């Protein structure tokens, strides 16, 4: 009898990230909850959709803390206008780089052509809008970007322009031609927070170009050009600001936008931890018996500052087991266990193929959640 009572009182926190362009965090949480209720109807479910600085950062925070949503027309990654939303709460502005410079704003067939030209200028315009509206602190969620311009576009929008030998403004894809800078990036006395979704540095084999360039359409030759441009940009910006932040964890986030914010005196924080704190995730997990998190692909990048491992760290601190449900799993059991994940489950493996899982992302995630819930009743 005591065992039955314990099972009926089991509380499960469902706290996923978005699933790579197929499901928002809220949609993923709903899909997991639907399947879990089928597999374990006696469990009490607490839904906490999360974000780590990438897509969904503003929406998740707005749901958690309230505030006023603003919509501002800014320069998109292709140089054309886009409408970007951002949040103001108690004098703190929360911006999302993906809103102004997101990969989803670049048609797939144009990515190879535009990977060296995509700009973060719109992010700088959002920072200026929040500054002008009186924000005393601005937290910028970094992730899901189409850009690898080292934040040069954002700084140009704020007043610091890179010039070539002919004193012409340098485009993102021509950063290697930079010879000097003109102006000063003006953010007033605003505190900048770079809420990164990764821990990568700006340069090198784990840097912005080498790691994330191919995901944005860059072939090996383009990656080499981007790396050279970022190196020149970093040298010039370091000389100008006397701050060398290229090796700081998170500098490579959002194609090097993290680096630009750090050189302005910004503080690098984990986007996942920032959101976890705002949503009071730790207190909720402390009152639960199981945590279920998830994302589109649970791979090696997940182990370097992504949301899944942030959630598992909170769960481990409370001695609560944590499961991961993902579209695909490319992390071994030992790696997952070392990251605090009790078990990781793949949607594509469960339904038989990636194609089947992508054909009905919500439905197949629901199926997997039902299957896992039955195992954990």
Whether residue 233 has pLDDT greater than 70: yes
Whether residue 15 has pLDDT greater than 80: yes
For 8, residues 6+ apart whose C-beta sits below 8 A from its C-beta are 42
pLDDT tens-digit readout, 314-329: 999 999 999 999 999 9
pLDDT tens-digit readout, 35-68: 999 999 999 999 999 999 989 999 999 999 999 9
Return mean pLDDT, the chain. Answer: 93
For 176, residues 6+ apart whose C-beta sits below 8 A from its C-beta are 225, 228, 229, 231, 232
Whether residue 8 has pLDDT greater than 80: no
pLDDT tens-digit readout, 116-164: 999 999 999 999 999 999 999 999 999 999 999 999 999 999 999 999 9
DSSP state of 145: B
Confidence of residue 371 (pLDDT cuts 50, 70, 90): very high
Nearest Cα to 344, choosing from 357, 328, 360, 358?
328
Confidence of residue 3 (pLDDT cuts 50, 70, 90): very low
Residues of the chain with CATH 3.90.1510.10: 57-272
pLDDT tens-digit readout, 165-218: 999 999 999 999 999 999 999 999 999 999 998 899 999 999 999 999 999 999
Between CA 148 and CA 229 the distance in angstroms is 10
Query: Which CATH number is associated with domain 57-272?
Result: 3.90.1510.10
Q: What is the mean pLDDT of residues 275-303?
A: 92
pLDDT for the residue numbered 305: 64
Between CA 284 and CA 11 the distance in angstroms is 10
Between CA 27 and CA 112 the distance in angstroms is 30
pLDDT for the residue numbered 228: 98
Whether residue 1 has pLDDT greater than 80: no
Nearest Cα to 158, choosing from 45, 212, 237, 41?
237
Residues of the chain with CATH 3.40.50.10350: 2-49+280-376
pTM for this prediction: 0.91
Between CA 160 and CA 312 the distance in angstroms is 40
DSSP state of 208: I
Between CA 27 and CA 17 the distance in angstroms is 10
Confidence of residue 4 (pLDDT cuts 50, 70, 90): very low
pLDDT for the residue numbered 175: 96
Architecture of domain 2-49+280-376: 3-Layer(aba) Sandwich (3.40)
């Amino acid at each position: 009898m005591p065992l039955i009572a314990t099972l009926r009182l089991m509380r499960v926190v469902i706290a996923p990230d978005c699933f790579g362009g197929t499901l928002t965090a809220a949609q993923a949480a709903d899909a997991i909850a639907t399947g879990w209720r089928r597999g374990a109807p006696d469990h009490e479910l607490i839904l906490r959709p999360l974000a780590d600085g990438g897509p969904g950062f503003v929406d998740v925070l707005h749901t958690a803390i309230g505030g006023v949503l603003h919509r501002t027309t800014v320069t998109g990654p292709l140089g054309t206008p886009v409408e970007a939303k951002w949040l103001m709460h108690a004098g703190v502005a929360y911006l999302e780089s993906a809103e102004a410079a997101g990969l989803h704003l670049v048609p797939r067939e144009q990515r190879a052509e535009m990977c060296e030209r995509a700009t973060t200028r719109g992010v700088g315009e959002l920072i200026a809008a929040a500054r002008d509206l009186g924000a005393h602190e601005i937290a910028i969620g970094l992730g899901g970007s189409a850009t690898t311009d080292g934040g040069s576009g954002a700084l140009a929008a704020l007043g610091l322009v890179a010039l070539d030998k002919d004193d012409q403004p340098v485009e993102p894809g021509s950063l290697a031609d930079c010879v000097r800078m003109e102006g000063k990036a003006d953010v007033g006395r605003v505190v900048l927070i770079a809420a990164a979704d990764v821990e990568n540095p700006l340069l090198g084999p784990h840097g912005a170009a080498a790691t994330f360039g191919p995901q944005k359409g860059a072939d090996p030759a383009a990656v080499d050009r981007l790396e050279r441009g970022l190196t020149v940009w970093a040298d010039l910006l370091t000389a100008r600001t006397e701050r060398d932040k290229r090796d700081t964890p998170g500098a490579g986030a959002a194609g090097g936008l993290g680096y630009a914010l750090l050189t302005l005196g910004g503080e690098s924080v984990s986007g996942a931890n920032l959101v976890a704190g705002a949503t009071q995730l730790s207190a909720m997990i402390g009152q639960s018996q199981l945590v279920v998190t998830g994302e589109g692909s649970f791979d090696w990048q997940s182990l370097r500052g992504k949301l899944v491992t942030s959630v598992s760290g909170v769960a481990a601190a409370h001695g609560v087991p944590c499961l991961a449900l993902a579209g695909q799993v490319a992390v071994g059991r030992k790696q997952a266990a070392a990251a605090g994940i009790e078990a990781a489950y793949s949607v594509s493996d469960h339904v038989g193929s990636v194609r089947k899982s992508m054909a009905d992302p919500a439905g197949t995630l629901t199926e997997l959640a039902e299957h896992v819930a039955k195992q954990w009743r």
